[in-house]
Amino acid sequence: MLVILSGVAGSGKDTIKKELIKRTDYITSLPSYTSRPIREGDVEGQTYCFVTKEEFEAKLKDGEFYEYDVHHNNYYGTSKKLLNEKIASGKVIVKDIDVNGTENLKELLKNDTKVVTIFLRVPKEELQRRLETRVDKPGPDEIKLRLNRFDYEESRIGLYDYVIKNNDLEKSVQIIMTIIENELRVENEEF
């Protein structure tokens, strides 16, 4: 089963994903391939598999990705091989991905894997506050860009199975664990 977590940057999806993985032994992550530079806190093969633009383009040409997108001039793609290996291991994969990638993956995987989609919502004022108090605080133009992106992502909320207001980390983690457990139960009962 693949659980997709979406929400704008600053919505808390990274923190929630890490908590879910830390607290259970059946939830795992799925690193995407990217051509963006490594940042502090990144771990090769865990947060992402880092490649050059040329290496990414070669993989793209060879049909190695289910889907890909370009964000801030960098490629990001979901590897068919990595996803299939993780699914075969029987674990629940939690992946954070934007709305466009979610739509593509849901469509592509609909006959092969159960996909559960969750959108994390934060009020716009709260998001602005979080962006402005981040250690790696973006500049004013970047903040404006992200708030515009907020309106776009909010407009696509109908695509998701679940929408959660993330104003309390602990509560959100508990809600998502309950969703995953229920979805697993339904999956096991389906025949």
Amino acid, single-letter form, for residue 83: L
Q: How far is the CB of 98 from ligand 5GP (least distance, A)?
A: 4
Give the shortest CB-73-to-ligand 5GP separation in angstroms: 11
| Between 60 and 184, CB nearer to ligand 5GP | 60
Member of 24, 26, 50, 71 binding ligand 5GP (CB under 6 A): 71
> Rounded to an integer, what distance in angstroms lies between the CA atom of residue 190 and that of residue 185?
9
Beta carbons within 8 Å of 80's beta carbon, 6+ residues apart: 63, 64, 65, 66
Binding residue for ligand 5GP, selected from 97, 120, 127, 173, defined by CB under 6 A: 97
Shortest CB 72 distance to ligand 5GP, Å: 7
Per-residue CA distances from 43 to 32, 39, 46, 127, 171 (Å): 12, 9, 5, 26, 27
Compute φ and ψ for 155, nearest 5 degrees: -70, -15
Write out the residues near ligand 5GP by the rule CB under 6 A: 32, 36, 67-69, 71, 76-78, 96-98, 100-101
